[in-house]
Amino acid sequence: TEIIPSLLPHTRRLLLLLNPFGGRGLALQWCQTYVLPMITEADISFNLIQTERPNHARELVKGICLAEWDGIIAISGDGLLYEVLNGLMERPDWEEAIKMPVGILPCGSGNALAGAINCNAGLEQALGVELLQNCALLLCHATVSPLDLVAVTTASGTRSFSCLSVAWGFISDVDIESEKYRHMGAARFTLGTLVRLASLHTYRGRLSYLPAAEAVAHRPISRSITMAPNGRLPLQHLPLHRALSDMGLCEERHAFRGTEPAPVACPSPGSPSPSSASALPSPSFSFEPLAGLSPASGADKGQGGGPPDELLVPLEQPVPGSWVTVEDDFVLVLAIYQTHLGADLFTAPFAHFDDGLVHLCFVKAGISRAALIRLFLAMEKGSHFEQECPYLTHVPVRAFRLEPLTRKGILTVDGERVEYGPIQGQVHRGLANLITG
């Protein structure tokens, strides 16, 4: 028979969008040194475009012909991926467009999603070039996972799609105030944290949420690593710090609150994910995703701007009766949907890319500086919930609303500053597709 081109496996084509000013401004250099050789060896074809200004990536993604690409990769921090996702959601064909696999190669100062991808692959926590190399290798493997997006609405009616977090108080203050130490790379957060601790603020606010009440099944923390069956990359040739030949063995995770931590062994590569959780530590909270929230569940589609937020009422109206409201003084409020808040901040060890949950975490006023430092130090290992700090609360929710009552403050969505005022969001389960390797 005749060999026609459409019968041959086609070369993956990736659109690489690089922010030359991300992090310490090393993105282009790191990309040339560590990324391009690897993806060339993996026989991936690519176009590399450097962004010229904020929102450039967003506009580009809105205009491109998606059929020409197998994936769009943000080479920067989390901010550039946020632009890519929102560019896709702003397209008239958003419903198809948002299925485009997106990836991240961490070259910014805030690399939370890369930290989550690295962790999901069972790799030891990494920073800098090491994290970049891990993510580049995982990108070559091309495994795609559904990714929850949270539709976030602010008082002016602006709606955007977030894949990481909404933060208020300590965390958003550090994130934004440390911009001036950008030349330090990720260390800017450490310095920013120390500065903020010295003048610890509290914020009065009203926090409302719709609890995710369907507690039925345990959720595994570690996952198996799926290798491309015909992956071309000779792993032993890659200068990874960690022994990737041992990738079938996962790290111990001491992650769940209030339970005896137990090492979790992952199945070997290629075997199916564990369907029974009997051997796993039992968390004090574990939830089955709500099937009705799946975008495929046939709910009405909103016009030209993503799925409708059927759990939310307009910000001017009181929250529905099924919601819980807490009015208090807070040190921080964090709605997080991924495991990591930064590459070395294992903030929500129980989260998963498509668990359909917003993990609402807050620290109430009254906590001592020492206790707050202890929480942040423990967060590197993800063991902060084990301290059973009475000021720290975690609630898995489907939707939330935060109404700041303190007049001045900083709110961030995925690490980017947004208008200060009432803000609310609801999760849309598995709306996007993330290349997780």
Residues identified as active-site = 78
Cα 144 versus chain centre, distance? 14
Query: Residue 261: in which H helix or E strand, if any?
Result: none
**29 vs 40 by CB, closer to ligand ADP:** 29
Pattern 386-425, ligand ADP, x by CB under 6 A: -----------------------------xx---------
80 contributes a contact to ligand ADP by CB under 6 A: yes
Contact positions with ligand ADP (CB under 6 A) in 110-129: 110
**77 vs 185 by CB, closer to Mg ion:** 77
**115 vs 415 by CB, closer to ligand ADP:** 415
Contact yes or no for 269/123 (Cβ under 8 A)? no
**21 vs 285 by CB, closer to ligand ADP:** 21
Contact yes or no for 330/365 (Cβ under 8 A)? yes
Select the residue interacting with ligand ADP from 52, 96, 124, 327 (CB under 6 A): 52
DSSP state of 342: B
Helix (H/G/I), strand (E/B), else coil: 153: strand
78 contributes a contact to ligand ADP by CB under 6 A: yes
Neighbouring residues of 68: CB distance < 8 A, sequence distance ≥ 6: 13
Pattern 400-419, Mg ion, x by CB under 5 A: ---------------x----
Cβ-closest residue to ligand ADP? 77
Written as one letter, the residue type at 244 is L
**Closest alpha carbon to 295 in 426, 161, 430:** 430
Q: Smallest distance from the beta carbon of 182 to ligand ADP, in angstroms?
A: 7
Token pair for 327: 């009015």
Residue 270: count other Cβ atoms within 10 Å of its Cβ. Answer: 11
Q: Residue 224 binds which entry of Mg ion, ligand ADP, none, with Cβ cut-offs from 5 to 8 Å by kind?
A: none
Determine the Cα–Cα distance for residues 421 and 437; give it in Å rounded to an integer: 38
77 contributes a contact to Mg ion by CB under 5 A: yes
Written as one letter, the residue type at 224 is S
Token pair for 19: 């922010």
Contact yes or no for 361/347 (Cβ under 8 A)? yes
- What are residue 357's phi and psi, to 5 degrees? -125, 145
Token pair for 347: 């903030």
Q: How many residues does the chain have?
A: 437
87 contributes a contact to ligand ADP by CB under 6 A: no
Contact positions with ligand ADP (CB under 6 A) in 2-31: 19-23
Q: Smallest distance from the beta carbon of 21 to ligand ADP, in angstroms?
A: 4
Cα→Cα distances 106→43, 114, 124, Å: 21, 6, 16
Q: Residue 274 binds which entry of Mg ion, ligand ADP, none, with Cβ cut-offs from 5 to 8 Å by kind?
A: none
Contact positions with Mg ion (CB under 5 A) in 79-138: 79, 110
Select the residue interacting with ligand ADP from 54, 269, 292, 304 (CB under 6 A): 54
Q: Smallest distance from the beta carbon of 363 to ligand ADP, in angstroms?
A: 24
Instruction: Give, in degrees to the nearest 5, the angle at Cα 175 between 169 and 179.
Output: 140
Select the residue interacting with ligand ADP from 83, 90, 148, 354 (CB under 6 A): 83
HSE of 125 in the Cβ direction (CA atoms, 13 Å)? 18
Q: Residue 51 binds which entry of Mg ion, ligand ADP, none, with Cβ cut-offs from 5 to 8 Å by kind?
A: ligand ADP
**56 vs 257 by CB, closer to ligand ADP:** 56
Neighbouring residues of 282: CB distance < 8 A, sequence distance ≥ 6: 218, 256, 259
Contact range with ligand ADP by CB under 6 A, out of 6-14, 50-58, 339-347, 373-381: 50-58
Which residues are at the interface with ligand ADP (CB under 6 A)? Answer: 19-23, 51-54, 56, 76-80, 83, 108-110, 415-416
Q: Which residues bind Mg ion (CB under 5 A)?
A: 77, 79, 110, 415
